[in-house]
Amino acid sequence: FFLRDFGFAMQLKLNRIMNVLDNLYPAPPVPLNSVNDFTFLVSVVLSAQTTDGKVNEVTDILFKHATTPDEMAKLEPAFVESIIKTVGLAPKKSNYIVNLSKELVEKFDSKIPSSLDQLVTLPGVGRKTASVIMSQVFGVPSFAVDTHVHRLAIRWGISKETKNVNKVQQDLCDFFPMESWNKVNCFLSLRSMIT
């Protein structure tokens, strides 16, 4: 991985991180259950401030009722909330899920938009969620910086930024080669959950 144009010490750090992560996670799995791109989007929206395990528990039930934007848009937010009530911010998230489903039906022909700018217009979809979708659904190199990834970036000396996640995202993008971003982001998310 001797690819980047920065100091020798940082290059050694990059090589070491990539080697360790490759050995620990040769093929990092996406930890959220889904049956299609739409259900993956729903799972990612639900994952904010909640464990992936808890999201998988509630989506096992939710996806028995709806797996498409058309089906989800027909559900009442109160019904969705009754299923996802154990997930943090359930009242807000149930509204987000139903309303983003309606917007997908009305504005995007029931398809997930393939641009970050369009994704962030959907209810409940911020930059982090949009980055995950761009990476995992569309294969566009991206870094989604959550609390865990942010913490690792600081711990490993990749970023010194303690408040601005957009700056941390830029630091990660500057440090890792673009062709590795999607895989490294999965690595970091998995690694951060166990450290």
Residues classed as catalytic: 128, 146
CB neighbours of residue 49 within 10 Å:
11
Displacement of CA 5 from its chain's centroid (Å): 28
Look at residue 138 and give its three-state secondary structure.
coil
CB neighbours of residue 39 within 10 Å:
19
Name which of 136, 106, 118, 121 is nearest 41 in CA terms.
136
- Residues 109 and 77: their CA atoms lie apart, in Å, by 21
Q: Give the single-character DSSP code of 113.
A: -
- Residues 6 and 23: their CA atoms lie apart, in Å, by 24
- Residues 72 and 85: their CA atoms lie apart, in Å, by 17
Q: Do the Cβ atoms of 137 and 40 come closer than 8 Å?
A: yes
Residue type at 18?
Answer: M
